[in-house]
């Protein structure tokens, strides 16, 4: 899970970042609406947590522009006011949910889980490719009668690959989605985790393998035998 936080109150932004870290979610933080739009428009985030009252561009305008650009990333609006007209307006311009400050971390996390699982009206709880099932709730991977737990980065990488198993996922995409924009991580970090994933697939005896497309990235292949 990779979260973008757009919040100009530095202390709140820090505490949001800490909540995400505790969940082992990847997280980027920006402090005004313009940066919020620019980062979110990249489409690399699973969810955007967006304050309404922001410098440069307010949260409503950020959502409106994102939706106009075709960016479908779920957005949760934050506001200090418990004002029903704000709520309606926010949902009208394309936000997915709404949270009034102050709130409990558990409530925010529940909303994040809800909006990121909703795709259309279908709730996605697992991904299946070949004989593999990735459980999105508890980071486990099943194959036939075996189940293993995955580390956070292994889980995130596999989730990306299993979400579009037929297409090649670029190494660069994996880097930004799993490690974040400002990270120092490099291509070989991705390679190391891919090798961990391959070992786990071998242990499970899965027919699915991760194929390297040289200088581009990876895709999943299902063997017949
Ligand atoms: Ca604010």
Instruction: Specify the pTM.
Output: 0.65
How many angstroms does the Cα of residue 18 sit away from the middle of ligand 1?
Answer: 18
CB 126 within 8 A of CB 141: no
Closest by CA to 93, choosing from 118, 68, 121, is 68
Task: Report the helix count and the strand count for the chain, using DSSP H and E.
Answer: 8, 14
Tokens (6 digits) for 175: 């880097």
Q: pLDDT tens, position by position, for the chain (225 residues)?
A: 889 999 999 999 999 999 999 988 889 999 999 999 999 999 889 999 999 999 999 999 999 999 999 999 999 999 877 677 777 788 888 899 989 888 889 999 999 988 887 655 555 678 999 999 999 878 899 999 999 999 888 999 999 999 888 889 999 889 888 887 767 888 889 999 999 999 999 999 999 999 999 889 999 999 876
Range list for CATH 3.40.50.2300 in the chain: 2-119
Calpha distance 93→65 (Å, rounded):
9
Q: What one-character DSSP code corresponds to residue 178?
A: I
Q: Please tell me the class of the 2-119 domain.
A: alpha beta
Check residue 122 and give its pLDDT: 54
CATH number for the 126-222 domain, one of 1.10.10.10, 3.30.2130.30, 3.40.50.300, 3.40.50.1820? 1.10.10.10
How many angstroms does the Cα of residue 80 sit away from the middle of ligand 1?
Answer: 8
Q: What is the dihedral of CA 186, 192, 195, 201, to 10 degrees?
A: -90
Calpha distance 130→112 (Å, rounded):
29
How many angstroms does the Cα of residue 28 sit away from the middle of ligand 1?
Answer: 17
């Amino acid at each position: 899970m990779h979260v973008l936080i757009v919040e100009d109150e530095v202390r709140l932004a820090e505490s949001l970042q800490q909540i995400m870290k505790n969940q082992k979610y990847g997280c980027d933080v920006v402090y005004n609406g313009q940066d919020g739009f620019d980062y979110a428009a990249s489409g690399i985030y699973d969810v955007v947590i967006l304050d309404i009252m922001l410098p440069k561009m307010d949260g409503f305008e950020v959502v409106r522009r994102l939706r106009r650009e075709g960016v479908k990333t779920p957005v949760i609006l934050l506001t200090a006011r418990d004002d029903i007209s704000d709520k309606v307006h926010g949902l009208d311009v394309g936000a997915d949910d709404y949270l009034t400050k102050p709130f409990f971390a558990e409530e925010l996390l529940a909303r994040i889980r809800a909006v990121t699982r909703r795709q259309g009206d279908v709730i996605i709880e697992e991904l299946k490719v070949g004989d593999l099932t990735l459980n999105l709730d508890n980071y486990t991977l099943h194959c036939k009668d075996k189940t293993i737990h995955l580390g956070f980065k292994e889980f995130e990488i596999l989730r990306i690959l299993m979400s579009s198993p037929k297409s090649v996922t670029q190494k660069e995409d994996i880097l930004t989605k799993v490690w974040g924009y400002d990270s120092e991580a490099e291509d070989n970090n991705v390679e190391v985790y891919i090798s961990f994933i391959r070992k786990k697939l071998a242990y499970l005896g899965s027919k699915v393998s991760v194929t390297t497309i040289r200088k581009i990235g990876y895709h999943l292949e299902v063997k017949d035998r």
